[in-house]
A and B are shown apart, each in its own frame.
Chain A
Amino acid sequence: MLPDQLRSKLREMIAGAESPREKAIDVMYAIQELQGWMNDEAMVEAAQLLAMSPLELEELATFYDYIYRSPVGKFVIKVCDSTVCWLEGQLRLTDYISSRLGIGLGQTSADGLFTLLPVCCIGYCDRAPAMVINKRVYGNLTPEKIDRILAQLAQKADFSGSE
């Protein structure tokens, strides 16, 4: 069940729209913000709010890369696999992240911290190879830099967990 507060926020969001389904992506983003991914229950509830059938919403959820239908880690690592990053050695770096975290593309680390996803150009070509983790961009990546970033994030997760 979605929390009441979120539900009323979503209702408000939908009320401002021409037709409810127009807000489908925003609604799913808001739910993901809270719980990370769209589970079946959330899909049914969101569909109801949007006056869509769960199947119609499913069609959208599975079409777009950033709507998650399975659990994701606290940090979603989106590695750009487009031209410029590729030219600058992105494949090797992705392999490096994979082996560091012990996960393949599309998988989540056992500690639930990291999910690794390949994404289309993030427009950060001047600092290729690049990646986005949650909302932050990291560029000019090297194995050393990746080590540093992953260590920092793991520490951050530890810290917020103990609060």
Chain B
Amino acid sequence: MKKLNSVTELTQFREQLLAEQQGIKKSIAICEGTGCHAYKSAAVADAFEQEIKKRGLEKEILVRRTGCHGFCERGPMAKIFPEKVFYFQVKPEDVAEIVDSTLVNNKLVDRLLFLDEKSGKRCAYQHEIPFYMLQNQVVFGNNFMISPRNIEDYIAAGGYSALAKALSGMTSVDVLEEIKKSGLRGRGGGGFPAGVKWETTRNAPADRKYVIVNADEGDPGAYMDRSLLEGNPHSVLEGLMLGAYAIGCSEGFVYVRQEYTTAIENLPIAIEQAKQLGLLGQNILGSDFSFEVKIHQGAGAFVSGESSALMSAIEGRVGEPRPKYIRTAVKGVWDKPSNLNNVETWANVPLIVNNGSEWFRSLGTEGSKGTKIFSLVGKVKYTGLVEVPMGVSLRQIVFDIGGGIRNDRKFKAVQTGGPSGGCIPEKYLDLPVDFDELSKVGSMMGSGGMIVMDEDTCMVDVAKYFTNFLAEESCGKCVPCREGLRQMKRILKEITEGRGKQSDLETLEELGAFMKDASLCALGQTAANPVLSTLTYFRDEYEAHVRDKKCPARACRDLIVFYIDPQKCSGCGTCRKQCPTEAISGDKKIVHIVDQQKCIKCGTCLQVCPSRFSAVTKLPGGPAPASVPYGTAVVQKTKGESK
């Protein structure tokens, strides 16, 4: 690759790339994001390449190994351009047929199209598929167009034109003002206005300053940053460079979790290619602007994603938060002004510079502009990454895009904002999702994880889970967070094991309020949110545990009871044979009985009881109904009545 010495040369290079693609009639984008990759999408891509070569169509049909397409539940995915036909769960065996039918003869392969369960119709094109219909993939959309290991794809798709625009006609203040005007807020959790943060770093006097990409995405349930960084690394780098240009600095870091192996592989390749083209390094595109970027790997610590902790980790110190009497924007890495934003925030920057702040402001709500990528996971039918304008309702995301709850269960709550967020109940499903609205109902945006919970999820158990998680990940430096979580954990354990007291609920609230006020960093200040939000919206569930010693969701092991209905038991013996603790007694044609003392509540009996009998039930708690005496004969059923 030849170094590009000016903006004009970049434009010429792009034109040349597009000219080379002139002969290409169709292209296939095969998702090689982590999700699809595990489902052998590489083999599918190989098969396409071989098939196309075999038919001598290399000059007309292009195969692209791209990043994540979002609809992870249905991978591996192949999208055909220009028609935007989407095939799902593609196997190497399907490839010859796709090439023959769709690529050569313009016919669809029906069985690989998305089946819309509601209408019973097959959907061929992206705009027909409910999962994509309501989305507006301005940030994520380029993932379809580019191979993350090929900078030429990014440039051909218009990449680095925002940088070129800034370097050729905008001053650093112009760029800063554009971002400020756009109203872009940090996508990592805090929602702080990015432009304001940039300005603080810009105005802080220092000989050196830094810009940082926070790719230590750790919020359980959120993986959009991974998909962006591994699928479109240049968009993040370009954003980072624009930030550096606006702030007036020439050095940057990407701090990435060790778990994101594909991102860690793709990122150095992207940096190297950008260097070769003169898009990174000294005098970028012949301008006065120079920029270097280094990659730092994490080593497994949730708290290191917090801004001050991350900066300590970059310095090679323990990744613990420090008090921020002086913001990291003023005193960060090696006490130099350091501006940190997360992956998605940086990826928005080139779009704003290119399309203008007015365009960005046209998307979203009054207080939250632009789009947001959510990872929709949990008990929802279609899991995946969803990019929608801010302000779309939770109902639209969960039910229209996500297809509602799996296995026809009932919706109970959606948990947003990661472990420090909250659980939002059904009555707020029409809430427009943005930074402010989510805070109003006691949750938060966080980095965009949306974990859907159904009626089988116990909210006290959920609160206990999050509290355990946070207690595990708390660095322990300040007392309110460390001890508060420990006490909460203890109380919740008592409640879920049937030893809770009414006063426990007040104690939890009191502890929560104290942690909020007195903790050192945001992790501690928000650590009580899971408990407080479930206490607010699902208090009846807490009360059922405390007062009746029952778990309405039938999830808490120590409370639930397995019971065999003597009217339904046929004495087949399946449950008796499979019970791991021999807690079930009975015989052929004799009603089976569960010995509650021996039962470990594993649920095996419920799983194995033949569905034509369905004699085993899981009760929320309390004493089991009195059992029949041992030796009672089963109720004889007449033919046809067995169901």
Instruction: Give me the interface of A with B, judged by CB distance under 8 Å.
Output: 18-26, 28-29, 50, 52, 59-60, 63-67, 81-84, 86-87, 119-128, 132, 135, 137-139
Contact = CB atoms under 8 A, between A and B. Distances in A.
A60 B318 contact: yes
Contact of A138 (B35, B38, B378): B38
A110 B314 CA distance: 37
A124 B38 CA distance: 11
Interface string B457-469: 1000000011001
A66 B169 CA distance: 46
Interface of B: 34-35, 38, 72-73, 217-223, 226, 257-261, 296-302, 313-320, 334, 375, 377-379, 383-384, 415, 419, 449, 451, 453, 457, 465-466, 469, 473
A86 B530 CA distance: 15
A126 B318 contact: no
Contacts of A135: 261
Given A25-B297, A63-B301, A120-B302, 5 more contacts: A22-B315, A50-B316, A122-B259, A125-B451, A126-B72
Chain A CB within 10 Å, residue with most, of B261, B384, B453: B261
Contacts of B313: 25
9 contacts: A28-B299, A64-B299, A67-B299, A84-B221, A84-B378, A120-B302, A120-B473, A123-B260, A128-B377
B415 A83 contact: yes
Contact of A126 (B301, B383, B457): B383
Contacts of A122: 259
A60 B258 contact: no
B34 A124 contact: yes
B482 to A, nearest CB: 15
Contact of B465 (A22, A66, A83): A83
Given A66-B299, A120-B220, A82 B316 contact: no
A64 B302 CA distance: 9
Nearest to A60: B318
B319 to A, nearest CB: 7
B218 A121 contact: yes
A82 B457 contact: no
B35 A87 contact: no
Contacts of B379: 87
A97 B221 CA distance: 23
A28 B73 CA distance: 36
A127 B35 contact: yes
Contact of A83 (B221, B319, B384, B473): B221
Contacts of B221: 82-84, 121, 125
Contacts of B419: 83
B38 A19 contact: no
B220 A83 contact: yes
Contacts of A65: 299-301
Contacts of A138: 38
A86 B318 CA distance: 28
A14 to B, nearest CB: 10
Contacts of B334: 18-19
Contacts of B73: 126
Nearest to B34: A137
Given A83-B451, A135-B261, A121 B316 contact: no
Contacts of A83: 220-221, 378, 415, 419, 451, 465-466, 469
Contacts of B383: 125-126
Contacts of A20: 316
Contacts of A128: 377
Contact of A124 (B35, B257, B302): B35
Contacts of A86: 465
A86 B457 CA distance: 11
Contacts of B38: 127, 137-139
A81 B377 CA distance: 15
A100 to B, nearest CB: 15
Nearest to A52: B316
Chain A CB within 10 Å, residue with most, of B259, B260, B296: B259
Nearest to A132: B259
Contacts of B375: 125-126
A29 B297 contact: yes
Contacts of A81: 469
B377 A84 contact: yes
A26 B268 CA distance: 15
A86 B451 CA distance: 11
Contacts of A124: 34-35, 223
Chain B CB within 10 Å, residue with most, of A23, A28, A83: A83
Nearest to A95: B602
A130 to B, nearest CB: 9
Given A82-B469, A83-B465, A63 B319 contact: yes
Contacts of B320: 63
A82 B223 CA distance: 13
Chain A CB within 10 Å, residue with most, of B221, B320, B457: B221
Contacts of A125: 220-223, 375, 377-378, 383, 449, 451
B316 A25 contact: yes
A35 B334 CA distance: 32
A124 to B, nearest CB: 7
Given A84-B221, A121-B218, A137-B34, A64 B451 contact: no
Nearest to B299: A64
Given A125-B221, A125-B377, A127-B38, A22 B316 contact: yes
Contacts of B319: 63-64
Nearest to A61: B299
A127 B35 CA distance: 7
Nearest to B382: A126
A119 B300 contact: yes
Contact of A121 (B220, B318, B415): B220
A45 B316 CA distance: 17
Contacts of A29: 258, 297, 299
A87 B259 contact: no
A137 B31 CA distance: 16
B316 A60 contact: yes
B226 A123 contact: yes
Top 3 A-B pairs ranked by shortest CB distance? A65-B300, A82-B220, A21-B316
B59 to A, nearest CB: 36
Nearest to B557: A91
Given A25-B299, A87-B457, A126-B383, A19 B315 contact: yes
B358 to A, nearest CB: 34
Contacts of B457: 87
Nearest to A28: B299
A63 B473 CA distance: 11
